[in-house]
A and B are shown apart, each in its own frame.
Chain A
Amino acid sequence: MAELTYRNAVLAALAQEMERDERVVLLGEDITSGGVFKTTVGLVDRFGAHRVWDTPISEQAIVGAAMGAAMAGLRPVAEVMFSDFYAVCWDQVVNEIAKTRYMTGGQVTLPLVLRGANGFGSLGFGSQHGQSVENWAMCVPGLKIASPATPVEMVGLLAAAIRDEDPVLVFEHKALYGVKQPAPEGEQFIPLGQARVAREGTDVTLVGLSITVGMCERAAAVLADTGISAEVIDLRTLVPLDAQAVLGSVGKTGRLVVVEENPGQLGWGAAIAALAAEEAFDDLRAPVIRVSGGNVPWPVARELEAVVDVSPERIAWAVQTLMKHAAAPPRQH
């Protein structure tokens, strides 16, 4: 069976949607050459230069142009090469894209996608190319957020993001680009806002997103050997959030561990933990624990990375602590 990498899943989703809808156009830095992460290889040859546009290093112009084009009836997909670079165009994302539909009383609709490489993943990219920043976007009403965990998930979720009538930020995890899966057949589409049960279990709920879903699955496999049955929920999207999937699972297991690469001081896991505290308190048999990235700017040396990165081992340790009803959760760095 043919295999599909996460990298080629991005390409497959873009091609699928460009084939399906001629309003889908791409812009970004070096994308006609395939892009730094080779996620747009061959699209200019297949669809033409009028649909794939190379830009200067101008993130404000890239993201702003996507917004203007969306207002004018196109469905642009803008590549923001590294999600750290959202910091240089955050005004466009937060003050313009997220708010203009509301500020105009619904006069405009912004069907656009901003996509690019996100995440730490122990690749040595350091502080300015290695952050997980999906939590930045979650602070802002008006943005949808997807972050696929597998190649198959990538095709379906990116397709859904492109077809969505609202702005969607798709965070691709750069440490997953080489991950392979059997290629699915036919058109792919996964609705935004529907979490996935990646593994069923009864003792504890592990909630992950993107790369941490696989980490949770690996931790769950280790825990199974010690007699602990962990359920793994892949949120798929932070907005819309499938809160019921989390609450339903916690209702079954009574324990919750939220696993994110965001710094623990304020990652999306805090919102999930609050959700459980407010709406599932009576179901909880132990405190909610967050396993998060360390609260430092990201280091580069492997030995330093390993201290602050999330890992299956840290997740398993957190669960084992939780199962013993330890009063104090593991301390964040």
Chain B
Amino acid sequence: MTQATADERRTDGDRDTVLYEQMLFIRRFLEKVDVLYRQGQMHGPAHLGLGQEAIAVGAASVLRPDDYSIGTYRGHAHALARGAPPEAVLAELLGREGGICGGKGGSMHITSVEHGYYGSYAIVGAHLPIAVGLAWASRIKKTGQVTICFFGDGAVNIGAFHEAVNLAALWALPIVFVCENNQYMEYSPISSMIPVERPAASRASAYGLEPLVVDGNDVSAVAELVGAAVDKARDGGGPALIEADTYRLKGHSAADAGAYRPAEEVEQARTQEPLLRQRAALVSAGTDEQDLIRLETRIAIAVSGLADRVLAAPKPDPATVWTDVWADGGSRWRN
């Protein structure tokens, strides 16, 4: 995906369709993962970002190919949005040969360095300091690269968040922190776990940063605000902390029905989810609905075929468990 100015992003109709297509692919992909999980095809947990696709796609759309992004165990969308091959991602989730992490990372650690996605981390908040290191390296090397660090609302209550944002602001690093506020810290509403109004934005002033909030279900709004923050960071303007409001349409993990959420809240959220909204925006801007239906059909078929191919793939060679600990490729710790 190429970098575009804010004006181009607002006016490019093709681009809006591409954003819709990317979100739709991720939605269908995640729904398929949910089904496969229920069928017992997955070994280990699956944390799905259903309903949060606009943040991953909108943010990725403003990055240069050599920019860094980094995320959480709910990171499938972020990897795919940067261009990670879906077949390799699904093979990782299903424990098949060709998995993007060789079967050693699984659902919570999807990574595609080749596409600038430097990993999904499963200790809440732990990757914020790592993201700071990526941005620090860009500053030292003067490469003009920007880092986007995605994290959930629950991460603002762990120390690593504060250490990382503080250091990034102190060193004026080229990094954009994006809080995906999906309203829930696992099973607890985030509002019940913070003494301030907003998990991320209310903390921004503590680090000399502007409190930035965006409708995280509006992919164009995400692209615009994140794009402006990325441009500023690239120009030496230092970090930004953005809170993107969204809603997790499913439970914390695929094993969680999310029954602690009021039914009316979920129903309301379903009317505000990003795909419906982007589709409506495209139609109202003059896109032929028949074109959209063709697109939707094509993606449904693609995801179905993808799953069939991956399920038919062989399991990993057990001998590979001993590879990749050290840079020499092996795992020997003694002679």
Q: Tell me, in angstroms, the Cα distance from A106 to B105 when the chains sit together.
A: 10
A300 CB–B CB distance under 8 Å:
no
CB distance from A265 to the nearest CB of B (A): 22
Q: Tell me, in angstroms, the Cα distance from A260 to B141 when the chains sit together.
A: 42
CB distance from B68 to the nearest CB of A (A): 7
A188 CB–B CB distance under 8 Å:
no
Residues of the A chain whose Cβ atoms lie less than 8 Å from the Cβ of B109 = 103-104
CB distance from B248 to the nearest CB of A (A): 24
Residues of the A chain whose Cβ atoms lie less than 8 Å from the Cβ of B323 = 106
**Residue ID in chain A nearest B131 by CB atoms:** A68
CB distance from A21 to the nearest CB of B (A): 13
**Residue ID in chain A nearest B134 by CB atoms:** A68
What 1/0 flags go to A149-184 for Cβ under 8 Å of B? Answer: 000000000000000111000000000000000000
CB distance from B226 to the nearest CB of A (A): 20
Interface residues of A in 67-115 (CB under 8 A from B): 67-74, 76, 91-92, 95-96, 100-109, 111
Q: At the interface with chain B, which of A217-225, A237-245, A322-330?
A: A237-245
Q: Tell me, in angstroms, the Cα distance from A96 to B132 when the chains sit together.
A: 14
**Residue ID in chain B nearest A71 by CB atoms:** B118
Partner of A95, one of B126, B133, B325, B328: B126
Residues of the B chain whose Cβ atoms lie less than 8 Å from the Cβ of A107 = 101, 111-114
- Interface residue tally for chain A (C-beta within 8 Å): 49
What 1/0 flags go to A52-78 for Cβ under 8 Å of B? Answer: 010110101101111111111110100
- Assess whether A96 is in contact with B123, with CB atoms less than 8 Å apart: yes
B119 CB–A CB distance under 8 Å:
yes
Residues of the B chain whose Cβ atoms lie less than 8 Å from the Cβ of A102 = 104, 324-325
* B-to-A contact residues, CB < 8 Å: 68, 99-105, 109, 111-114, 118-119, 121, 123, 126-138, 140-141, 159-160, 163-164, 166-167, 170-171, 323-329, 331-335
20 examples of A-B residue contacts, CB within 8 angstroms: A53-B136, A56-B166, A60-B126, A61-B132, A61-B160, A66-B133, A68-B129, A68-B133, A69-B136, A70-B133, A72-B137, A76-B133, A95-B126, A96-B130, A102-B324, A103-B119, A104-B113, A104-B119, A107-B101, A141-B325
4 further A-B contacts with Cβ under 8 Å, apart from A56-B167, A64-B127, are A61-B164, A71-B118, A96-B121, A104-B109
